[in-house]
Chains A and B, each alone.
Chain A
Amino acid sequence: MKDIRKMSKYRPEISQREFEQIERYLLGGMEAAERTAFERRLAEDAVLRDEVNLQNRLMAAVEIGSFKRGEANPSVQEIVAKRRSIPSWLYAAAAVVLAALGFTGWWLWHDAPMGNENLYTAYFYPDPGLPIAMSSTDRYVFYDGMVSYKEEKYTEAIERWRTLPDDMLATDTLQYYLGMAMLNNGDLDSANVYLQQVSADEQSTFHGKALWYRALIHVKRGEHPQAIRLLETLPSEKRARDLLDKLRQ
């Protein structure tokens, strides 16, 4: 391994403070006064200038590296087809792990009875969305909506997806994510309609997830018997068993 200090115009490392200042500059996060002062320093300080250019290049490396990683993902149709061929409980198991790792995990060990809103908040974990590359206009629109979804701009995601042709809107993938976007927007009634359609399809890989979120909608509304009935259909999910215990207390 070469010794960077002997061979480079760059310092071996920069402080977190300096790094964050450069990052703020590159990402447009500086106020006008700070930017002006920083640009004055840039004009005079060649070392700082080199470092800004280097960070700029590294950020581009992350963007393009992440895009390449995303590129390996299949198209919507391939995802739907592939997911149908994988047991849905495999996804459910992954969701359990995700939930177990989540911030809300500690609630699972909390014995005190909770209100409906608290239970919902404790167990609700927004689906992070699909990383998909698209190659046609429709796929692009779907992907574009998914980017908005991941940015938590749920209304924008819904608007984009609704421009897709009916046959795409009818897929369980779209139905599920439209439902989730509505749920994240707090529109429980509309979300429930979409999730109901997905949960009715036992072949759908979103079947278990749709049941889980429908159960949470019932919890939020205080409809515990309905929530319990749905959760009882998810016996292999730890989070479902835990929530059932809470509801039965």
Chain B
Amino acid sequence: METSKDTWNDNPERLLHKAYTDNIGWLERYVRRNSGTVEDAADIFQESISVAWLNFREGKFRGDAQQFNAYIRQICKYKWINQLRSTARKQLSYEADLSIFEGEAETRQVEESIGQSEILRASFSAIGEKCRELLGRFYFGRQSLAQIARVMNNTEESIKTIKYRCMMRLRKAYLERHQENE
């Protein structure tokens, strides 16, 4: 996990699940100690891993797997404290201090990444189930075109073209949402 480019060839499915298993137990304990539930922890984790992963892929986070876990936990804490502040539960006690990140710049960058990851999530949701499945198999599961063609009952050449069209659909969905938020 040294740099983004070095790990593009790693299986993202494996890396993400490793991040999940390394951190979900800690987060559940943390949230429960601080006025939340296991369900809250699950939601916070989903949002936080999205932000961390996006920054990792874009080279804004650099470090090894251990540092990546620490980074995820920082974001989890930041998001949970923000959530507590914005709800009726804010009067309840929580153990963490509020200066999760070093300085305003880093906090601002995480805030921007939270916004970006929400736009990306909405864009991916908008491209239709077939496209989500195909793209997920290729980029997330790292299945070959031949494997996907076999499972989706099509030719490799067609799958290649459909993949391109699906990515263009995702690109369009993202750009529209991105501009609306600018």
Query: Using Cβ atoms and an 8 Å threshold, which residues of chain A touch B49?
Result: 64, 67
Q: For the complex, what is the distance from the CA of A102 to the CA of B62, rounded to whole Å?
A: 43
Contacts known (A60-B58, A67-B49, A147-B11); A133 close to B179, Cβ less than 8 A = no
B54 at the interface (CB under 8 A from A): yes
Contacts of B151 in A (CB 8 A): 128
Cα–Cα, bound, A53→B175 (Å):
13
Residues of chain B lying within 8 A (CB to CB) of residue A57 = 54, 57-58, 116, 120, 174
B93 CB within 8 Å of chain A: no
Looking at A14, A53, A67, A144, which has the most chain B CB atoms within 10 Å of its CB? A67
Q: Decide: A60 and B132 in contact? CB cutoff 8 A.
A: no
Interface status of B147 (Cβ within 8 A of chain A)? yes
Instruction: State how many angstroms separate the Cβ of B128 from the closest Cβ of chain A.
Output: 12
Task: Mark contacts of A52-65 with chain B using CB atoms, 8 A cut-off: 1 yes-contact digit, 0 otherwise.
Answer: 01111111111111
Bound Cα distance from A71 to B24, whole angstroms: 12
B32 at the interface (CB under 8 A from A): no
Return the contact of A62 from the options B50, B147, B170, B179 (Cβ within 8 A).
Answer: B170
Asked if B139 contacts A66 (CB within 8 A), the reply is yes
Query: Within 8 Å of chain B (Cβ to Cβ): is A7?
Result: yes
Q: Are A102 and B153 in contact (CB under 8 A)?
A: yes
The verdict on B101 contacting chain A, using a C-beta distance below 8 Å, is: no
Which residues of A have CB within 8 Å of B5?
A: 28
Asked if A135 is at the interface of the complex by the 8 Å CB criterion, the answer is: yes
**Closest Cβ neighbor of A65 among chain B residues:** B124
List the B residue with the shortest CB-CB distance to A128. Answer: B151
Number of interface residues of A (CB under 8 A): 52
Number of interface residues of B (CB under 8 A): 54
Contacting pair A150 B141 (CB below 8 A)? yes
Partner pick for A4 among B120, B153, B172, CB 8 A cutoff: B172
Q: Is the CB of A103 within 8 A of B135?
A: no
Q: With an 8 A cutoff between CB atoms, is A68 at the interface? A: yes
- Distance between A137 CB and nearest chain B CB, rounded to angstroms: 7
Q: Smallest CB–CB gap between A6 and chain B, Å?
A: 10
Query: Is the CB–CB distance between A67 and B16 below 8 Å?
Result: yes
- Pairwise interchain contact A64-B21, C-beta atoms closer than 8 A: no
Is A58 a contact partner of B174 (Cβ separation < 8 A)?
Answer: yes
Q: Which residue of A2, A61, A71 is within 8 Å of B124 (Cβ)?
A: A61
Interface string of B112-125 (1 = CB under 8 A from A): 00001100110111
Q: Bound complex: CA of A146 vs CA of B32, how far in Å?
A: 31
Given contacts A27-B8, A58-B170, A135-B20, is CB(A2)–CB(B50) below 8 Å?
Answer: no
Contact with B along A138-162 (1 / 0, CB 8 A): 0110011001001110000000000
**Candidates B17, B116, B132, B175; contact of A65 at CB < 8 Å:** B132
Task: Judge whether A82 is part of the interface by a CB distance below 8 angstroms.
Answer: no
Q: What is the CA–CA distance of A152 and B73 in the complex, to the nearest angstrom?
A: 33
A27 and B9 contacting across the interface, CB-CB below 8 Å = yes
**Additional A-B contact list (19), CB under 8 Å, known A28-B5, A56-B4, A70-B13:** A4-B179, A13-B171, A16-B164, A28-B8, A54-B174, A56-B58, A59-B139, A62-B124, A62-B135, A62-B139, A63-B57, A63-B139, A64-B16, A64-B117, A66-B135, A66-B136, A67-B13, A68-B50, A151-B11
Q: Which positions in A face B, CB cutoff 8 Å?
A: 1-2, 4, 7-8, 10, 12-14, 16, 19-20, 26-28, 53-71, 101-103, 105, 128, 133-137, 139-140, 143-144, 147, 150-152
**Which residues of B does A touch, CB under 8 Å?**
4-5, 8-9, 11-14, 16-18, 20-21, 24-25, 46, 49-50, 53-54, 57-58, 116-117, 120-121, 123-125, 132, 135-136, 139-143, 147, 150-151, 153, 160-161, 164, 167-168, 170-172, 174-176, 179-180
- In the assembled complex, 13 residue pairs joining A and B whose CB atoms fall closer than 8 Å, in A order, are A2-B176, A2-B180, A56-B4, A59-B57, A59-B139, A61-B121, A62-B139, A64-B117, A66-B136, A66-B140, A67-B12, A69-B136, A102-B150
